[in-house]
């Protein structure tokens, strides 16, 4: 009887390929109404001797069945894992995805080029704070409170008399306060203004230049800036100096460069302010009257980059659009 059961369960298990099917076979023999369970239940009708004998036989069969079921379960599970692994085969012949390289931001590139040209001219590089005091940003540059020139450089004010510097010119005063001429420095960095349109962003970059000695002339100023432009843009670029006004230089000028705007028309783009250091600024830093003369300039880096790369909207530089940035 029990041997017969074992043969049958073995046959049944041959056709089993999933855990569910296995559970069905299990309950067919060992479940509540399974064949072996029913046999066990019927033992109570036998005499004690037969009950013992039959009981041991059934138990033996039951154990063998459980072992068969367990082995089959192991087999099903390991086959499942094998199947999954073989699906996940790694194709070593696939071409690699390739890595993408970043590149320097166009503004950093231009800043680096400008600094390289002026260090070649013998200027030393020095950097200053972006959070300035009213004194260095305005007062000591001959822009007193309520002076109309403050209107052009509206900025972000912080607590006390602190503000985000509107230009790199405060570095002129900071350097002259601590050093006696000859002084020949440039000072690159970020500056801030309440401004935003196609040619203005609230944060932009400038490079300040200052050259002070016993005799420095407007001719020196023009010579340095013309040479700078032809090195930066190439010899063919068209330049003009236009008289202008800055409280900290006298006389003052702006340098414009010819460029083609959005609609394709040729116009002039202002790229820097410059002039001869105003004697009032020398007074602020404690230099004696008429002892020194100096030239100064402040270059807008974004403007240079726009002209060099033919970009018509300054805001592209700060939108972090990879399609734009990866062209440089
Ligand atoms: N600081 C001026 C500005 O941001 C630019 C400037 C003009 C700088 C004349 C100078 C200078 O050093 O001499 O508008």
Q: Which residues does residue 255 pair with via DSSP β-bridges, in sequence order?
A: 241, 272
* Averaged pLDDT of the chain: 92
Considering the four listed CATH numbers 3.40.1010.10, 3.40.50.2300, 3.30.950.10, 3.30.930.10, the one that applies to the domain covering 106-325 is 3.30.930.10
Q: From ligand 1's centre to the CA of 318, what distance in Å?
A: 23
State whether the beta carbon of 189 lies less than 6 angstroms from ligand 1.
Answer: no
- What is the distance between the alpha carbons of residues 189 and 125, in angstroms, rounded to a whole number? 11
Q: From ligand 1's centre to the CA of 297, what distance in Å?
A: 6
- What is the distance between the alpha carbons of residues 66 and 271, in angstroms, rounded to a whole number? 90
For 36-49, the pLDDT digits (tens) are 998 888 888 889 89
On the question of pLDDT at 300 being above 90, the answer is yes
- What is the distance between the alpha carbons of residues 133 and 295, in angstroms, rounded to a whole number? 24
Residue in the block written with tokens 């935003």: 196
For 232-286, the pLDDT digits (tens) are 998 888 999 999 999 999 999 999 998 877 788 888 989 999 999 999 999 999 9
Q: How far does Cα 10 stand from its chain's mean position?
A: 66
Q: What is the pLDDT of residue 24?
A: 93
For residue 206, give the ligand 1 atom closest to its CA.
Answer: 4
For 54-63, the pLDDT digits (tens) are 899 999 999 9
- What is the distance between the alpha carbons of residues 328 and 105, in angstroms, rounded to a whole number? 7
State whether the beta carbon of 118 lies less than 6 angstroms from ligand 1.
Answer: no
The values of phi and psi at residue 219, to 5°, are -60, -40
Q: From ligand 1's centre to the CA of 300, what distance in Å?
A: 9
- The larger pLDDT score, comparing residue 287 to residue 87, is at 287
State whether the beta carbon of 208 lies less than 6 angstroms from ligand 1.
Answer: yes
CB-CB contact of 41 with 51 (8 Å): no
Size of the chain, expressed as the number of residues it contains: 328
Strands (E) in the chain, as ranges, are 124-125, 131-133, 162-164, 183-192, 203-213, 239-246, 249-260, 266-277, 293-300
Q: From ligand 1's centre to the CA of 34, what distance in Å?
A: 98
Q: pTM of the entire structure?
A: 0.71
The values of phi and psi at residue 28, to 5°, are -60, -35
Q: What is the pLDDT of residue 96?
A: 87
State whether the beta carbon of 246 lies less than 6 angstroms from ligand 1.
Answer: yes
State whether the beta carbon of 138 lies less than 6 angstroms from ligand 1.
Answer: no
Strands (E) in 214-324, as ranges, are 239-246, 249-260, 266-277, 293-300
Q: What is the pLDDT of residue 287?
A: 96
Q: Which residues does residue 293 pair with via DSSP β-bridges, in sequence order?
A: 213
User: What is the SS3 assignment for 69?
Assistant: helix
For 311-320, the pLDDT digits (tens) are 988 999 999 9
For 107-123, the pLDDT digits (tens) are 999 999 999 999 999 99
Q: What is the pLDDT of residue 87?
A: 86
CB atoms within 10 A of CB 28: 15
Percentage of the chain modeled with pLDDT above 70: 99
């Amino acid at each position: 009887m029990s041997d017969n059961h074992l043969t049958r369960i073995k046959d049944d298990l041959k056709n089993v390929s999933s855990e569910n099917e296995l559970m069905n076979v299990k309950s067919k023999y060992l479940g509540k109404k399974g064949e072996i369970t029913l046999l066990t239940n019927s033992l109570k009708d036998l005499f004690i001797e037969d009950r013992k004998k039959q009981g041991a036989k059934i138990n033996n069969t039951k154990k063998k069945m459980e072992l068969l079921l367990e082995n089959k379960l192991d087999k099903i599970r390991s086959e499942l894992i094998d199947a999954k692994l073989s699906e996940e085969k790694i194709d070593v012949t696939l071409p690699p995805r390739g890595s993408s390289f970043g590149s320097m931001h166009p503004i950093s590139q231009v800043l680096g080029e400008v600094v390289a040209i002026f260090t070649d001219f013998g200027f030393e590089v020095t950097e200053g704070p972006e959070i300035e005091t009213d004194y260095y940003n305005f007062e000591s540059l001959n822009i007193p409170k309520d002076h109309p020139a403050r209107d052009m450089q509206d900025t972000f004010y912080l607590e006390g008399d602190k503000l985000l510097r509107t230009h790199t010119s405060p570095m002129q005063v900071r350097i002259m306060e601590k050093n006696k001429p000859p002084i020949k420095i440039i000072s690159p960095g970020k500056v801030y203004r309440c401004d935003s349109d196609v040619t203005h962003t609230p944060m932009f970059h400038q490079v300040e230049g200052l050259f002070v000695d016993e005799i420095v002339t407007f001719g020196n100023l023009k010579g340095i800036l013309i040479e700078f432009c032809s090195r930066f843009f190439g010899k063919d670029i068209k330049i003009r100096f236009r008289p202008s006004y800055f409280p900290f230089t006298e006389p003052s000028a702006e340098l414009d460069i010819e460029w083609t705007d959005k609609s394709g028309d040729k116009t002039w783009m202002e790229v820097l302010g410059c002039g001869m250091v105003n004697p009032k600024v020398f007074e602020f830093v404690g230099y004696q009257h008429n002892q020194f003369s100096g030239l100064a300039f402040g270059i807008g880096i974004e403007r240079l980059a726009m002209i060099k790369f033919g970009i018509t909207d300054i805001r592209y530089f700060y939108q972090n659009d990879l399609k734009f940035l990866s062209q440089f």
